[in-house]
Amino acid sequence: MSRSSNVWGTVAVLVMTVGLVPLLVMASDPDPLQDFCVADPTTGVVVNGFPCKPSAKVTPWDFWSGVLKNRGITNNPNKSNVTAANVVNFPGLNTLGISAARIDFDKGGINPPHTHPRATEILIVAKGELYVGFVSTVGANNTLFATYIKEGELFVFPRGLVHFQLNVGKGPALAFAALNSQNPGAQAIAPALFQPDIKDEVLELGFRIDQKIVDQIQKEFRK
Ligand SMILES: *[C@@H]1O[C@H](CO)[C@@H](O)[C@H](O)[C@H]1NC(C)=O
Ligand SMILES: *[C@@H]1O[C@H](CO)[C@@H](O)[C@H](O)[C@H]1NC(C)=O
Ligand SMILES: *[C@@H]1O[C@H](CO)[C@@H](O)[C@H](O)[C@H]1NC(C)=O
């Protein structure tokens, strides 16, 4: 092969790669088709998202929310509380591809391993210090990306990957999150597997544990 055909080969690969980028970038909520579409959940019409409230009835308050103002109660086994501001309690987010959350931690509190099937999450620490991380599928090797973050610092959890946050500071901690979906969804690993009535054999073989341990964990998550 001549040198010039090599160059054109490289150009072709670049063009094809760049052409694929928009497809990869589209992996979040669909683009809106109008400025806004404040959710009207009362219509009973089932669509991907919610139908829009008539724009003549839309007010500034539709784009305001106070749901993250107050500390969540952390008196529970996680010693933490996740308060979400998504399309369900903040209808103005409908079609905008964004939502938020606050996470309050008691000393030693945890937001246990979970995933958001529809969103990447960026977390900012407002108070305290957290040990945070996610597990990637790169090389099918479950590579851990984890570190410690403090007040004012950010960490990003890529869409769909298992991630967690643990309060490692000397007192309570507070973090806020932004997620690129109006309805990110959350699936916690332990409750997802040990709360429903999955046949014991699946859990015994899946986790390489015996029935006694399966029963013990199930009891914990069925309280
Ligand atoms: C989280 O906090 C809210 C508001 O204080 C409270 O109603 C809710 O029960 C708490 N959830 C858990 C799991 O502790
Ligand atoms: C997985 O990790 C092992 C040990 O570090 C390494 O030898 C192997 O090449 C990795 N496999 C892949 C597919 O990345
Ligand atoms: C504790 O965390 C798990 C996993 O995220 C969650 O499913 C569960 O609702 C939380 N429980 C309480 C009481 O906060």
94 labeled part of a ligand binding site: no
In angstroms, rounded to a whole number, what is the distance separating the alpha carbons of residues 73 and 85?
16
Q: What percent of the chain has pLDDT over 90?
A: 81
Q: What is the pLDDT of residues 123-150, one digit of tens each?
A: 999 999 999 999 999 877 899 999 999 9
The packing angle between helices 211-221 and 200-207, to 10°, is 110
Ligand 1 pocket check for 213: Cβ under 6 Å: no
* Shortest-distance atom of ligand 2 to CA 140: 13
Reported pTM:
0.84
Q: Who has greater pLDDT, 28 or 55?
A: 55
Q: Where are the domains of the chain?
A: 192-221
Predicted local confidence at residue 140, as pLDDT: 74
Predicted local confidence at residue 207, as pLDDT: 97
Q: Are 96 and 160 in contact (CB under 8 A)?
A: no
Residue range 197-218: mean pLDDT, rounded: 97
Q: Which ligand is nearest to the CA of 136?
A: 2
Lowest-confidence range among 19-28, 34-43, 107-116, 149-158?
A: 19-28
Q: Are 128 and 65 in contact (CB under 8 A)?
A: no
Predicted local confidence at residue 141, as pLDDT: 86
Residue range 86-109: mean pLDDT, rounded: 98
Q: What is the pLDDT of residues 1-38, one digit of tens each?
A: 445 555 555 545 444 444 444 444 456 799 988 899 99
In angstroms, rounded to a whole number, what is the distance separating the alpha carbons of residues 134 and 78?
18
Nearest to 69 by CA among 112, 17, 104, 98: 104
Lowest-confidence range among 15-19, 150-154, 155-159?
A: 15-19
Predicted local confidence at residue 99, as pLDDT: 98
Predicted local confidence at residue 17, as pLDDT: 46
10 alpha carbon – ligand 3 mean position (Å): 50
139 alpha carbon – ligand 2 mean position (Å): 7
Residue nearest to atom 6 of ligand 1 (CA): 73
CB atoms within 10 A of CB 71: 12
Which stretch, 18-22, 29-33, 42-46, 167-171, has highest mean pLDDT?
Answer: 167-171
Q: Who has greater pLDDT, 18 or 176?
A: 176
167 labeled part of a ligand binding site: no
129 labeled part of a ligand binding site: no
Predicted local confidence at residue 77, as pLDDT: 95
Predicted local confidence at residue 19, as pLDDT: 46
- Which residues fall within 8 angstroms of residue 219, CB to CB, at 6 or more apart? none
Ligand 1 pocket mutation pick from 71, 73, 78 by most atoms within 8 angstroms of CB:
73
Ligand 1 pocket check for 158: Cβ under 6 Å: no
Q: Who has greater pLDDT, 180 or 46?
A: 180
Taking phi first (over 0 means left), then psi (-120 to 50 degrees means alpha), and beta for anything else, what does residue 5 get? Answer: alpha
Q: Strand order of the sheet with strand 173-179?
A: 80-85, 99-105, 173-179, 121-127, 154-157
Ligand 2 pocket mutation pick from 136, 141, 143, 144 by most atoms within 8 angstroms of CB:
141
Ligand 1 pocket check for 89: Cβ under 6 Å: no
Lowest-confidence range among 3-17, 62-76, 102-116?
A: 3-17
In angstroms, rounded to a whole number, what is the distance separating the alpha carbons of residues 92 and 63?
5
